[in-house]
Amino acid sequence: MKPLLHALVAIVSLLAVSSLIRSLDRWGYYEFSASKMQHLEEVGERYDTLFLGSSRVYRGIKPSVFDAVVAANGGESRSFNVAIPGAMGHEMSGVLHDLFATLPQLPKRIVIEVVHWEPRIKEANLMSDRVLLWHSWRETVSALQSLQLHMPSPTQLSTREKLTLAWQHVEHFVRRTFRVGRGPTMARAWWEGPDPKRSERALARNRGWNGYNMKKARYQERAKVFQDKYAEFYFQVAVRQARNPVPAHTHELNWSAMEDQIAFVREHGVELVYLIAPAARPRIADDELARLRSMADVLDYSDPETCPELFDPSVRFDWLHLNALGAEVFSRRLAHDLQNLSARPPSRRK
């Protein structure tokens, strides 16, 4: 019994001090999004609408334009773009929970992009900040559970692969819990003191929106490649992609996790709207879209024939993203649609 008592004491003290460290490093692993989170923690009550998503939202929704359109239509809105480039379902869910635990006052509405709930971790992203970020207990369990889901071909994983993946998730969880790797950054922050301009920077960036800076050579190059090579047939390809019937791939949406997410948001009295961003890629299967609509409000911009202005090459940066002009167009359209949606009674929204 004595060794067990010693082990217990050591583990309790380890967990207690780690918990203290976590409280000192609230936005550990958030990288550049830490400034957004800190800003929302400080003045989050200013905002009534939050946009959460991947780079398609990060680059594509401009809160200032959105708010202006709402105001022009006689409404009132203060929105904030809290999207993270490259974010997948688990990552967004992690951010969502962190947000709700942080905000001094919850927003009226949250718009979440529908993305894949991919339980696999890319080799290049292993142990990276962005993956460590979302490995809370809840999300780790959710990712582990999703490994048990049916995975149709071609993404079928072998038992060995699932075990490896499960191990990776557990390891990420342990590292996140003990803030592995955060020491130097924390020490530097302590050494240099808080950055007084941190929150203002987030505000200056159009309330979380960040369009492609076309002064940068690499962005110019990417945009030029798109315009030169693909622009002329982009619309047609997008139409084909949208019409391309894809088999239901439930693992990519992780329905059980989404149900939890919907319940979580509604429990807090916040209106939830799912968003399918405008991009030329295989469209969500019709039966899946119908299922999603039965669970929550969905604004679907993935069909070029219903929203051609978002697939015009002049508003595109590349296949998946809008440029700054496109962000304005999309933000205007989104503002109209959200206002219309809110005006309808819940029973007539489906």
Partner 1 sequence: MIFSEFRFLVFFAVVMAVHWVLRANFARKFWLLAASYWFYGVWDWRFLFLIFASTVIDYFAAHRLKRARVADDQKAARRWLIVSLVANLGILGFFKYYNFFAESAASMLHWFGLPVGDVTLGIVLPVGISFFTFQTMSYSIDVYRGKLEPVRNFFDFALFVSFFPQLVAGPIVRAIDFLPQLDAQRRFADIKFQRACGQFLSGFIKKACIADGVAPFVDQVFADPSGFTATAIWIGTCLYAVQIYCDFSGYSDMAIACARMLGFELRTNFDFPYLSKNITDFWRRWHISLSSWLRDYLYIALGGNRGTKAFVFRNLMLTMLLGGLWHGAGWNFVVWGAIHGASLIVHKEWTRMTAHRVPSVPLLPGLLTLMVVLLAWIFFRATTFEDAWTMGVAFLTLQSPGEAQIDGKMAYLLIPLLVVHWLASRRVAQYLEGRVPSLMISCTYGVILALALPFVPTDSRPFIYFQF
Binding interface with partner 1 (CB under 8 A): 3, 5-7, 9-18, 21, 25, 127-129, 132, 167, 171, 174-175, 178-184, 186-188, 191
Which of residues 189 and 320 has its CB atom nearest to partner 1 in the complex?
A: 189
Residue 126 or 225 with smaller CB distance to partner 1:
126
CB 66 within 8 A of CB 50: no
Q: Which is nearer to partner 1, 56 or 182 (CB)?
A: 182
Which one, 2 or 348, has the nearer CB to partner 1? 2
Min. distance of Cβ 141 from partner 1 in angstroms?
A: 18
HEC profile for the chain?
CHHHHHHHHHHHHHHHHHHHHHHHCCCCCCHHHHHHHHHHHHHHHHCCEEEECCHHHHHHCCHHHHHHHHHHCCCCCCEEECCCCCCCHHHHHHHHHHHHHHCCCCCCEEEEECCCCCCCCCHHHCCCHHHHHCCCHHHHHHHHHHHCCCCCCCCCCCHHHHHHHHHHHHHHHHHHHCCCCCHHHHHHHHHHCCCCCHHHHHHHCCCCCCCCCCCCHHHHHHHHHHHHHHHHHHHHHHHHHHHCCCCCCHHHHCHHHHHHHHHHHHHCCCEEEEEECCCCCCCCCHHHHHHHHHHCEEEECCCCCCCHHHCCHHHECCCCCECHHHHHHHHHHHHHHHHHHHHCCHHHCC
Whole-number minimum distance, CB 173 to partner 1, in Å? 10
- In the complex, what is the shortest distance from the CB of residue 183 to partner 1, in angstroms, rounded to a whole number? 3
Q: Which of 235, 231, 246 is nearest to 303 (CA)?
A: 235
- Closest CB 20 distance from partner 1, rounded Å: 8
* Residue 185 beta carbon to partner 1: minimum distance, rounded to whole angstroms: 9
Residue with tokens 């490093």: 25
Closer residue to partner 1, CB minimum distance, 90 or 130? 130
Q: Which is nearer to partner 1, 49 or 140 (CB)?
A: 140
Comparing CB distances to partner 1, the nearer of 132 and 338 is 132
CB of 122 to partner 1, least distance (A): 15
Q: Cβ of residue 315: shortest distance to partner 1, in angstroms?
A: 39
Cβ closest to partner 1, residue 174 vs residue 263: 174
How far apart are CB 161 and partner 1 at their closest, in Å? 17
The neighbour count for residue 285, using CB atoms within 10 Å, is 17
Report the nearest approach of partner 1 to the CB of residue 17 (Å).
4
Contact of 335 with 69, CB cutoff 8 Å:
yes
